[in-house]
Amino acid sequence: MKKEEVPQDNIRHFRTARKAAYVVDEEGHYTTVPTTGWNVEEVILYQAIGEFEEQAETCRQRVARGEDSPIAYFMFKRRMDPTVLAQAMGLPRWRVRRHLKGKVFARMGEGLLKEYARVLRVPLDALTPFRPDVLEQETYELPPGLSTADRQAGRTPGPESTAGESSRRSTP
Which residues of this chain interact with another protein, rule CB under 8 A?
A: 1, 12-15, 17-24, 29-30, 32, 34, 38-41, 43-49, 51, 78-81, 83-85, 87-90, 119, 121, 140-142, 144-151
- Closest approach, Cβ 46 to another protein, in A, equals 8
Compute the distance between CA of residue 33 and CA of residue 85 in angstroms, rounded to an integer: 38
**Half-sphere CA count of 154, side-chain side, radius 13 A:** 0
- Closest approach, Cβ 136 to another protein, in A, equals 12
* Closer by beta carbon to another protein, 50 or else 66: 50
* Closer by beta carbon to another protein, 13 or else 101: 13
20 DSSP β-pair partners? 34
- Closest approach, Cβ 69 to another protein, in A, equals 19
Phi-psi region of 10 (alpha: psi -120 to 50; beta: other; left: phi over 0): left
Phi-psi region of 18 (alpha: psi -120 to 50; beta: other; left: phi over 0): beta
- Closest approach, Cβ 60 to another protein, in A, equals 19
Handedness of CA 58, 64, 67, 72 (dihedral sign): positive
* Closer by beta carbon to another protein, 66 or else 94: 94
* Closer by beta carbon to another protein, 111 or else 129: 111
